[in-house]
Amino acid sequence: MAEKKKHIPKNQHFVPQFFQRFFSYENDGKTIGMFNTQLDRFINQVPISSQLSSDYFYGRDGNLENWLSKHESDSAPIFREMWEKEKLPINQSPDHFKMLHFMVVLDLRNPIHFKILNNFEKKLPKTKSKISEGNVSGNMVSGLKEHQTDQGKLNSLKSAEQIVSDLLNLEYKLIKNTTSNPFIISDNPIILYNQFFEKRNWKFCSQRDFGLKGFQMFLPLNDSYMLAVYDSNIYKLGTKKQKIVAIDDKNSIDQLNLLQFLNSETTINFNHKASQYYIETLYQKSKKFKKANDTSINVHKMNFPKGYDNHTAQMIEMGVSDLNIKLKIQKLNFISKSSAVKLKSIDNQYRKNVKYKGHVHVVYKLVPIIEK
C-alpha cells in the first residue's frame, strides 16, 4: 500500500505562530493586533493564522517546512519559559545552543533576507568596474540565484548551526519592561544592532554581522520581556550577577520598539496593551530615520603589493543599510576597556576566534587584472 502523502500547508509562516501567540490579544492564543505601515491601517485583532506568512514561501515539497516545524517544536518551550518563569538556558547547555540557533534561523528565514539577495542579483550586472571598461563580472549572480531556490533556502538554514558556534561566548540576559508601554514585534522581529560600531562611525561593510565586535541581538518575547544577546567585552547590562534586568524608562522601551518599525517590511504586531495612539506615534517617529535592509554595492580598487607590477584588483562590497538611531538604553552601557579596542582593518572588526564572516555583507575579490 502506497504511503499517504503528508499535507503541505499553503500558508507558511516566516514568524512562527507559537511566537506570535506570545503577543496574542488578551492572551487568547488566536488573534493579534496589526498595523500596516504601507496602508497606515490599525486593527485591534486579526487571526494569527493569517499573519506573517506567505503562500508556499518554503516550497511545495514540504522538506523545508517540515524541518522548520521540528526546529520550532524544539525551540518553543525554551522561549516560553523565559517570560513565564524568568528562566534562561544554562550557559553552554543544549538549550543555550537551541536558543541561539532559533535566533539565527529567525533572521535567515525571513523574506527580507531573500529580498536582499534578489536585489543584489539585479544590481550586480549594472555595477560599473573600477579598473576596466564596462561592468563588473556577473559570475556571482548564479550563486545569488541558488540561495533563493527551495533547496538553497534549506541549505542556508541548515548552515545556521555553524554560525551559532561563534555566538556561544556572547552574554545573554532578559530585559524586564516595567513601564506601561508594551514591547511589540514586526514581520522581521529579530533586531541586529551594534552600538559600538555606531559610536565609532565605522562605515566599511555592515555593522550587523554575527561575528563582529560589539554585536547585539534584541528579541521581544512578549509585552514585558525581551531577550538581549551581546558582546560582553564591549557592553554591560545591569549588574554582573543579574540575569533579569528591570527597565522603568519609557524612552528606552520606545527606542527598542522603534527598531521594530525600522527593521520591518510592512507589518507591526502587538497585544491589547498597545493603543492605536501609541503605535501611530511610534510610526511617525520612525519616519525620521533610515530603514534597515536597503541594498548597496560598492566597488573598491585595490593595488597589489610590490612584485605584482601593474596588477590591480577590485573588491566588490555588497551590503545593507544598518539600524542607526543612536540607541541609548537604560542600564545598557559600554564597559571602560571598550574605548581602547582598535578598529584598523576588516579582519580587526571581528571578535577573536570567529570562523564565520560575512553574514549581512558579502565581499568578493575578483581575479587580478593587468591594466593596459
Give the model's pLDDT for residue 278: 98
Rounded CA-CA distance 303/313 in Å is: 6
298 inside domain: no
How far from 116 is each of 14, 134, 149, 294, 366, CA to CA, in Å? 16, 24, 14, 8, 21
Give the model's pLDDT for residue 6: 65
pLDDT band at 362 (very low <50, low <70, confident <90, very high): very low
Exposed e or buried b per residue across 7-44, where buried means at least 16 C-beta atoms within 10 angstroms of its C-beta: eeeeebbbbbbbbbbbbbbeeeeebbbbbebeeeebee
**For helices 150-158 and 94-108, angle between their N-to-C axes, nearest 10 degrees:** 150
pLDDT band at 371 (very low <50, low <70, confident <90, very high): very low
301 inside domain: no
pLDDT of 142 above 60: no
269 inside domain: yes
pLDDT band at 356 (very low <50, low <70, confident <90, very high): confident
Higher pLDDT, 279 or 133: 279
Enumerate the β-bridge partners of residue 363: 317
Give the model's pLDDT for residue 358: 65
| 192 closest CA partner among 211, 166, 173, 169 | 211
pLDDT band at 199 (very low <50, low <70, confident <90, very high): very high
Give the model's pLDDT for residue 273: 98
369 inside domain: no
Structural domain boundaries enclosing 118: 15-293+329-360
pLDDT tens digit sequence for 98-119: 999 999 999 999 999 888 888 8
Residue 216's contacts (CB-CB under 8 Å, 6 or more residues apart) are 191, 192, 193, 194, 195, 228, 229, 230, 231, 235
Identify the H or E element spanning 145: helix 141-146
Where residue 128 falls (left for φ over 0; alpha for ψ -120 to 50; beta otherwise) is beta
Residues, the chain: 372
371 inside domain: no
pLDDT band at 137 (very low <50, low <70, confident <90, very high): low
320 inside domain: no
Give the model's pLDDT for residue 234: 97
How far from 249 is each of 160, 176, 177, 308, CA to CA, in Å? 35, 11, 9, 58
Higher pLDDT, 366 or 167: 167
Give the model's pLDDT for residue 363: 44
Rounded CA-CA distance 176/293 in Å is: 28
pLDDT tens digit sequence for 18-33: 999 999 999 999 999 9
263 inside domain: yes
pLDDT band at 318 (very low <50, low <70, confident <90, very high): confident
Give the model's pLDDT for residue 294: 87
Q: What angle do CA 177, 178, 181 make, to 5 degrees?
A: 75
SS3 state of residue 347: helix
Annotate 5-62 with three-state secondary structure.
CCCCCCEEECCCHHHHHCCCHHHCCCEEEEEECCCCEEEEEEEHHHCCEEECCCCCCC
pLDDT tens digit sequence for 208-262: 789 999 999 999 999 999 999 999 999 999 999 999 999 999 999 999 999 999 9
Higher pLDDT, 203 or 164: 164
Q: What is the mean pLDDT of residues 34-43?
A: 97
Average pLDDT, the chain: 87
| 207 closest CA partner among 189, 218, 195, 217 | 195
Give the model's pLDDT for residue 187: 97
Dihedral, CA of residue 11, residue 16, residue 18 and residue 19, to nearest 10: -140
Rounded CA-CA distance 359/164 in Å is: 12
Rounded CA-CA distance 330/238 in Å is: 9
Backbone angles phi, psi at 222, to 5 degrees: -165, -165
370 inside domain: no
Identify the H or E element spanning 306: none
Q: How far does CA 234 lie from the centroid of its chain? A: 20
pLDDT tens digit sequence for 48-89: 999 999 999 898 888 889 999 999 999 999 999 999 999 999
Residue 195's contacts (CB-CB under 8 Å, 6 or more residues apart) are 214, 216, 235, 327, 334
Q: What is the mean pLDDT of residues 132-141?
A: 65
- Percent of the chain exceeding pLDDT 90 equals 63
Give the model's pLDDT for residue 51: 94
Give the model's pLDDT for residue 319: 79
Q: Are 232 and 153 in contact (CB under 8 A)?
A: no
Q: Are 61 and 8 in contact (CB under 8 A)?
A: yes
Rounded CA-CA distance 163/166 in Å is: 6
Q: Please give the tally of structural domains in the chain.
A: 1
